[in-house]
Amino acid sequence: MSATDKLSLRMHTEAEGGSFAKGNVSHTAERADNDHANNADDSDSERAPRTLRDAPAKSDRTPAAKKPNRRDNKKRSKSSNKDTDNNKKAKKREPDAIEKEILAKSEKYQRGLKLTMGDDKPAAIKVRSKKAQPKIEHEKRRREIAILDAARSEMLLTEQAGYLEAEGEMERTYKVTQDQLADSLDINSRAKIFDLKLEEFGPYVMDYTTNGRHLLLGGRKGHLATMDWRSGRLGAEFHVRETIRDVCWLHNENLFAVAQKKYAYIYDHSGAEVHCLQKHVEPTALGFLPFHFLLASTGMTGRLMYQDVTEGRIIGEHKPGYGPNHVLKVNPYNAVVHMGHGNGIVTMWSPRQSQPLAKMLCHKGPVQAMAIDRSGTYMATSGLDGSLKVWDIRNFKALHEYSTMRPAQSLDISQRGLLAAGWGANVTVWKDALVTKVDAPYMKRLLPSTTVSDVRFVPYDDVLGYGHSSGLSSIVIPGAGEPNFDAYVANPFETTKQRQEAEVKQLLDKLAPETIQLDPTFIGRLDPRSRDQRQLELLESKREQYAKDKADGKYLDNEVKNKMKGRNSTAKRFARKRLNNIMDLKKLNEIENEEKKKLESEAKRKKIPESEKGALGRFYDEKRSTA
């Protein structure tokens, strides 16, 4: 027994010993009191509806209101009439504006549960078990309360999203330049507009950490730097002396991966090389799956590699077979990796499945850039055919098409759904472009005599950073970032201690690669098949496997007899097995001979004349055939 256990036991003896005696003496009486108190509570709660949904629909849920108890009616005289009147009023009352607003807000918290008002309830789920029915009902009610509470808690969010709105009819938001914008911004935001002139080693690719605080930039000609971009504090800066094609932060600002000329490398915050990932040959694009700790890359070989960065194992290696590749993006909603290919196809991958989860033909030419929004609903692609398309990736359908003068080199979608495209020397941003087809862009910027190579929105901020041939630019796009961050997900004001703790938690919650599917909510779902059906299907699959294995010559009866003299060896056995499949003249003759023999024997059997058989004739054939 541990010390604490001992202590607690003593504490219990002292603290509860006395009261227990009392409790036992008036045991029954007290319980009766409790019941009474509970009833009182219940009736109170009936009067003050706990949930929004209860308020209008209350009267048809509580039995007391629906069918007033006779006894109660007798007991209560006039006062009860008042109550029932109130109830009637409550039944008729329409939800007020606030309630309607909350109900509208609750839409996104529903997670598949259909929440409706009042009488138009969805049909009850048919469950055979009488025991389970009330449980399901109870659980449903609890979930409804949770959904409404979640919607109500939006009230507690402190920050408002940014905006840029035209006031007069003649004003156009896309005509606002960054200089004009800077004049009407506070000093804090004004500092976010800057251009870094790095003309020697460009064009630049870049990446922001998930909390948007740290920036990683890599110049094509080998320049690498990390910085806390808001304060302008430089982390590490060095030169790798070879081509850099892509850069990518890992789970936090302590590690980052770089796609270099021959291999991918991992560096730490000080710029020291931690790993050389030799399995990633000539990588061109990198992606990191933060919940699975997987680094995905593709390259000149056209393969998709998944490497677990915590233990270093290669988790998956897929060959789409469409040639060299440079477009790879991770879907933040379900961690599926999207790849854009040279033939205009976009494929979606899970590390454990060698075949793509889905294929979409998106463009008539090579896919040039891609972006996926955080809800996993929309994907934007641009192709060398000059089109920029928005797709609904839940049902793989094209929604809208936008045009850029030249094919967009890079795309990104901000947290609040703004679409940015970098083409030529231009960056164009559209607002609400995913949901509807908009006519005019929201904002744009031209930096003459440059070529934009990479556009990235900063998470949790109204800033768009983009790398180009002569350095890096940062511009303010009001309304781009999520205003209210969750400190348990990503905290822009994270301290070192918090980062360390978060890292431990992240590692504890590391997901298995098998959890990556198009629908990430499949875990814990009920299997609708019956037990017999499941067993039948299992049996069927086993049978198929057996048939396939047998055809492949996995079992003994398929093995070729050893006719050769000399020593047996695995290599020779293998060679013989291979030989078995090759048709040569000798073998053909053998087969022919065998068939001939067969025919002859059959002919012999038929030759016995009827007269010889006599009365026992009908047994002849059977006897012969069995012999």
Q: Which two tokens stand for residue 189?
A: 């935001």
Does the protein bind another protein through residue 418 (CB under 8 A)?
no
DSSP state of 441: -
Does the protein bind another protein through residue 310 (CB under 8 A)?
no
Does the protein bind another protein through residue 337 (CB under 8 A)?
no
**Candidate residues 55, 161, 274, 357; the one interacting with another protein per rule CB under 8 A:** 161
Does the protein bind another protein through residue 64 (CB under 8 A)?
no
Cβ-based nearer residue to another protein, 167 or 557: 167
**Candidate residues 218, 332, 441, 467; the one interacting with another protein per rule CB under 8 A:** 332
Q: Which two tokens stand for residue 303?
A: 């393969």
d(C-alpha 548, C-alpha 558), whole Å: 12
Does the protein bind another protein through residue 138 (CB under 8 A)?
no
Q: Residue 500 — φ and ψ, nearest 5°? A: -65, -45
d(C-alpha 443, C-alpha 430), whole Å: 7
Residue 231: CB minimum distance to another protein, A? 10
Distance from the first to the final alpha carbon of the chain: 80
**Candidate residues 95, 162, 386, 553; the one interacting with another protein per rule CB under 8 A:** 162
Does the protein bind another protein through residue 157 (CB under 8 A)?
yes
Give the x-and-dash track for 485-504 against another protein (CB under 8 A). xxxxx-xxx-x--x------
| CA distances (Å), origin 521, targets 315, 333, 368, 422 | 22, 11, 31, 34
Does the protein bind another protein through residue 112 (CB under 8 A)?
no
Does the protein bind another protein through residue 26 (CB under 8 A)?
no
Q: Is 390 helix (H, G, I), strand (E, B) or coil?
A: strand
Give the x-and-dash track for 283-302 against another protein (CB under 8 A). --------x-----------
Residue pair 388/381 in contact by the 8 Å Cβ criterion? yes
Cβ-based nearer residue to another protein, 6 or 542: 6
With CB under 8 A as the rule, give the number of residues binding another protein.
Answer: 80
| Binding region for another protein (CB under 8 A) out of 312-320, 339-347, 371-379, 617-625 | 371-379
- Which strands make up the sheet holding 471-476, listed edge to edge? 194-197, 471-476, 463-468, 452-457
DSSP state of 176: -
Cis? peptide before 290, omega within 30° of 0 = no
Does the protein bind another protein through residue 8 (CB under 8 A)?
yes
**Candidate residues 19, 79, 188, 395; the one interacting with another protein per rule CB under 8 A:** 188
Residue 358: CB minimum distance to another protein, A? 18
Does the protein bind another protein through residue 61 (CB under 8 A)?
no
Does the protein bind another protein through residue 29 (CB under 8 A)?
no
d(C-alpha 275, C-alpha 559), whole Å: 47
Q: Which two tokens stand for residue 160?
A: 């408002």
Does the protein bind another protein through residue 153 (CB under 8 A)?
yes
* 3-state per-residue secondary structure call for 91-134: HHCCCCHHHHHHHHHHHHHCCCCCCCCCCCCCCCCCCCCCCHHH
Does the protein bind another protein through residue 534 (CB under 8 A)?
no
Instruction: Please report, as residue ranges, which positions from 385 to 414 form the binding site for another protein (by CB under 8 A).
Output: none
| Binding region for another protein (CB under 8 A) out of 196-204, 293-301, 476-484, 539-547 | 476-484
